[in-house]
Structure 1
Amino acid sequence: MTPVGMTSFDDVYALPDPRGYFTALGPYEYQTPGHAQPVFRALAAELGPGRRTVLDVCCSYGINSALLNHDVTLDELFAHYTSARAAELTTAELADRDRDFYAVRRRPDATRAIGIDVSRPALDYALAVGLLDEGHCVDLEHTEPEERLRGSLAGTGLITVTGGTSFLTERTFARLFTAIGHPVPVAAFVLRTHDYGAISGCLESYGLTVERAATTQPQRRFTDPREQERAVATVTAFGEDPAGKESAGYFHTRLHLAR
């Protein structure tokens, strides 16, 4: 469910491949996975033996894993999936093309990648082209992790989130930590229109310290003036200054790093 005050892009996550996702978000200059890429890579590089698994929550088509484990940029992915050549292909043909596309760009320091999402089609595509080692279609807001997921999470050393915190509460993270068996770092890019306080409190209750970055990054352009007006009003109510950020036409995110 889309947060109140935001335009819904829910439909693009139910498609059999990522072309609709990139086509829909491109005009609004969606940027967050690109900003997250160097952060997630640096954190993954710190993972020790036995903890070389990155869990991406709300992973959709595996975009964060693509950027983490492959020599590719977000701009290149937009160009790749919105090209005239891509538009000519069936989903099966696109998947064949993508397996080669990602295989030749695979980084030697690639980590094991697990994805969690409520969209089965998005997960299936990410698995089919090799972006995820495992994918779990589950809503941890309302469901306890199944045995297969619990077993898969044992080697998790980092949890990443770019777009999901607006849809999640502390319940998801408490269930993940229970399944993993111990707290692990959580790197989340959080919209300034979202209150992350309850999730931060949950992470701190497990002994983590949540560091809130001083700077913010643009997430995407607003779709219309009403969406912008609501965002400006919300961040102002949170005590944030929208000048140069929401007032300039973009949602903004901030990195919250718990470790």
Structure 2
Amino acid sequence: MTTVAIRDDATGTKANMSAIYDQADPRAYFRELGKLDYAIPAAAQPVFQRMVDAIRARRKGTVHALDLGCSYGINAALLKYPLAMADLQARWTDPVLHGIDSDAVREVDRAYFDAQPCADVRVIGLDPSEPAIAYAEDVGILDDGVTLDLERNAVPPALAETLAPIDMIVSTGCVGYVTQRTFAALMPAVTAGAAPWIGNFVLRMFPYDAIEQTLGGWGYVTEKLEGETFAQRAFASDIEQERVMAQVDRLGLDTAGLEADGALHAEFFLSRPKNEADIPLADLIDQAT
């Protein structure tokens, strides 16, 4: 395994990869995470697409999404364009891009994404990395980007207006770095309009109870997809694996066949307004696979 520093997150267990989120383009992100078989966006893509389809069937028209912890807009690209995670991985690790600067990468990426057929989905991204947000906005993957720490700050009035039409909130790994405080900050704004569905892929090392309780206070019903986990990526070091497994063990969960086999695993939670939670989550996901 590659040995890296340990990140100071909510539990002090995960590998420090902050440097790959602070680049002017996604090449380092895909190069380094590709070494670790980063897979969660690919696993999430059909699930999020089923959310889009189900929401559109109910509400009609353009679906507005908010991606929490969006980094370079990976989930947005997979929602908006006929692309797979493998396409993005191949593109941003292509040796042709190795010898050019970030401005040139942005120029060719603008042309690349402009040429893609685009679904009737608009995506706002929220992430603490200004360079990642700037890139994703510049090349058109994100329709809007926000750099704001909602663990410590309220939603400004101007942003609240932007968030009011949101139909769905998604994430593929930020829960644990963000907590119920972020969701408590978001809910007044996002429920002023469409009352979004909220789909989170959550690493098993992070309890979800506090977020579920927060959303329940806003009239939401939360379901976990039972009996299924999703590999996020391989562990970056033996130390990371040991610490994550210890945390999962403390939660009373069995790591056999999952973290013990060398990868971080996530579970999927879907929270919906009570009046739109009529289709069981398992049935909804069956239609996505």
Bin for the TM-score computed over the shorter chain: over 0.9
8 Å contact kept, 1:116–1:136: yes
Say if 2:12 is the partner of 1:2.
no
The one of 91, 100, 105 equivalent to 2:111 is 100
The one of 15, 22, 26 equivalent to 1:18 is 26
8 Å contact kept, 1:50–1:155: no
Q: Who is 1:226 aligned against?
A: 239
Deviation of the 1:210 alpha carbon? 0.9
For the residues of structure 1 that align with 2:77 and 2:33, how far apart are their CA atoms? Answer: 17
Q: Who is 2:191 aligned against?
A: 181
Q: Who is 1:89 aligned against?
A: 100
Aligned residues: 258
- Match of 2:232, SS state, is strand
For the residues of structure 2 that align with 1:134 and 1:227, how far apart are their CA atoms? Answer: 34
8 Å contact kept, 1:55–1:115: yes
Q: How does 1:94-243 map to 2 (within 5 A)?
A: 94-107=105-118, 109-182=119-192, 183-214=195-226, 215-243=228-256
Q: Who is 1:40 aligned against?
A: 48
Q: Who is 1:252 aligned against?
A: 265
Deviation of the 1:200 alpha carbon? 1.1
Deviation of the 1:103 alpha carbon? 2.3
8 Å contact kept, 2:198–2:270: yes
For the aligned residue pairs, the C-alpha RMSD in angstroms reads: 1.4
- Match of 1:54, SS state, is strand
- Match of 2:167, SS state, is strand
8 Å contact kept, 2:62–2:121: no
Of stretches 151-160 and 229-238 in structure 1, the one that deviates more from structure 2 is 229-238
Unaligned runs of 5+ in 1: none
Q: Who is 1:54 aligned against?
A: 65
8 Å contact kept, 1:170–1:198: yes
Of stretches 243-252 and 219-228 in structure 1, the one that deviates more from structure 2 is 219-228
Deviation of the 1:51 alpha carbon? 6.6
Sequence identity percentage: 35
Residue type of the partner of 1:166? G
Deviation of the 1:46 alpha carbon? 2.3
8 Å contact kept, 2:63–2:120: no
8 Å contact kept, 2:62–2:122: no
Unaligned runs of 5+ in 2: 1-7, 273-289
Q: Deviations over 1:177-231 (max 9, x none)?
A: 1112344211000001111111111111111111111200111111121211122
8 Å contact kept, 1:51–1:155: no
For the residues of structure 1 that align with 2:242 and 2:161, how far apart are their CA atoms? Answer: 45
Q: Deviations over 1:75-132 (max 9, x none)?
A: 121111011011122111111111122222233x330111111111111000011011
Of stretches 70-79 and 47-56 in structure 1, the one that deviates more from structure 2 is 47-56
- Match of 1:155, SS state, is coil
- Match of 1:209, SS state, is strand
For the residues of structure 1 that align with 2:258 and 2:115, how far apart are their CA atoms? Answer: 38
For the residues of structure 2 that align with 1:239 and 1:213, how far apart are their CA atoms? Answer: 18
Residue type of the partner of 2:222? V
- Match of 1:239, SS state, is coil
- Match of 1:30, SS state, is coil
Of stretches 181-190 and 139-148 in structure 1, the one that deviates more from structure 2 is 181-190
Residue type of the partner of 2:88? L
Structure 1 consecutive aligned stretches of length 4 or more whose deviation exceeds 3 Å: none
